[in-house]
Structures are given as C-alpha cells and as structure tokens.
Chains A and B, each alone.
Chain A
Amino acid sequence: MRRRSATILVLGTLTVVFVGLLAVPAAAEITQGSCRGSATFPDKATDKVLDAARPRSLVFEAPTGATVNYTGDLGPGASASDEPVAFEGGVSLQLPRTSIPIASWEGETEEFSDSGTYTYELPAGIPAGTGDIEVSAFHNHTGYGNCAAVVSVSIAGSPGVAAAVAGGLTALSGAATLAAGRKKP
C-alpha cells in the first residue's frame, strides 16, 4: 500500500510539472522602438526569412551552419545623419531569470541602416533539435532611439546522444531518489 502511494506521489509530481509546461507564454517580437531587421537563410527549403517582427511563438528553425543575408534599419523614414553618431548593440541568449551576451557591437556611423552577409558554423558540442532558444537583441543609436527585439529559434537536427545521456542520468538519479525512501536498517 505504501509502495503504491509512493509511486502515486512521484507520478503526481511529474504530472504537476508537465501541466506547468503548458503555461509557457507566447508573446512577440520587437519589444522597443521601430527598428526593422531580418536575416535570410537562402539554403533553407522553406521558412527562409527570420524577421525581427516575427511573433515569438513562431519558432524559427536555424541550421547548424549557414551564410545569412541580413538587413536592418532604424525604422520607416530613417535617413543618414550629417555627422557620425555613436551606436551600440548586442545579442543575448535568454536563460531562466538571466541572459548571457553572445555578440556585441559599437562605434560611430552616419548611416541609419546596414546590410550584408554573415557566415556562421555552430560548434559541434551544441546539441541540435532542442527546445526553443530565445534570443534577444538591442541597438541604441544615440539621439535617434533605442530598439529591442526577441526571437525564438531552434537548431535543426536531432539531440541524439546528448538526450540519451541526459535521459540515462535522469533515470539513475530518479532511482537514487526512490532509494532514499528505503528504511534504514
């Protein structure tokens, strides 16, 4: 009877956790300012454009490596300045209750827009096929406004070995947790 109750306790806890998963909010996109920006992945078969205005709930699947065509500006009607203006910006990876910067830029420019190509290759240690990864970016153009945007991406592929190892460690530590419920001799 007690063993059955313990099993119910464990399953009940897991049920509460999974119900909590359903409460992940879906929100959007450009959170400050009127900036515009997009990145085009020409090698993808479908869903090639990651736009800053893309709803956060619409997850973009990014390949592990690609050459990306990007473009961005300070907003509709923005034109070049007569003299150089200081700017700064960055990209951060959102973690629970915190974020870690993964790229930054700063300098002075007369331009209010930029475009070009960027090639990246994710390190082999980063697992693919994971859950959503929220990436936030900001850009401050002194005297001309601040912008911030958030997008949700996932890395194409399968988690493979990493998920199997994590699952095995979960089972092992779960068994040890159950073993803690064994009476001392």
Chain B
Amino acid sequence: MKGRPILGAVSGFFFGLFLGITLFLVGVIPLHSDLLIALPIIGIVLGLVMAWWAPFGKSEEEPPPTDAISPEPEPSN
C-alpha cells in the first residue's frame, strides 16, 4: 500500500462511529438502526481503500536525468 493502512483503519472506524452518533443525536437515524453498527465497518473499509489508493501527496516519478538539465560547459580559451 502506498498510504497508511493502520491510520486508515483506526481513523475510519472512529469516523464511522462518530458519524453514527452524530446522526442519531441530530435526529436523523433511530437508536436501534443497524447503521450504527454498519457505519464503523464502512469507515474501516473506506480508510483501507484510501490507504491503498493514496490519491494525495507527491507521486513517485523518476527525476529527470541530470545531464539533460545541466548547461553545457563553456569552452575555455
């Protein structure tokens, strides 16, 4: 994986957990909803997918060859 799978799984779990709690507290889902169990699991999967995909940060491109950018030495007289 190019990203951080442990961070993804742990933070994804808490993201789903707190999202479920927030949705319950603001009256969007009932207390007995299975979503309160499903959301942390979805969060773990989301975190692992993010770590596998790793769409952020610098890509691992090969640096250009040094001789292609270095100027030609001036002939000395």
Residue positions of A touching B, CB distance < 8 A: 2-3, 5-6, 9-10, 13, 17, 20-21, 24, 93-97, 127, 129-134, 152, 154, 159, 162-163, 166-167, 169-170, 173-174, 176-184
Contact = CB atoms under 8 A, between A and B. Distances in A.
Contacts, number: 159
A24 B30 contact: yes
A182 B11 CA distance: 14
A181 B31 contact: no
Contact of B31 (A132, A179, A183): A132
A95 B58 CA distance: 44
Contact of B54 (A13, A95, A134, A183): A183
A180 B15 contact: no
Contacts of A17: 19, 35, 39, 42
B59 interface: yes
Interface in B33-77: 33-39, 42-43, 46-47, 49-51, 53-60
B8 A181 contact: yes
A163 B2 contact: no
A173 B43 CA distance: 10
A3 B56 contact: yes
Contacts of A94: 31-32
A179 B14 CA distance: 14
Contacts of B8: 177, 180-181
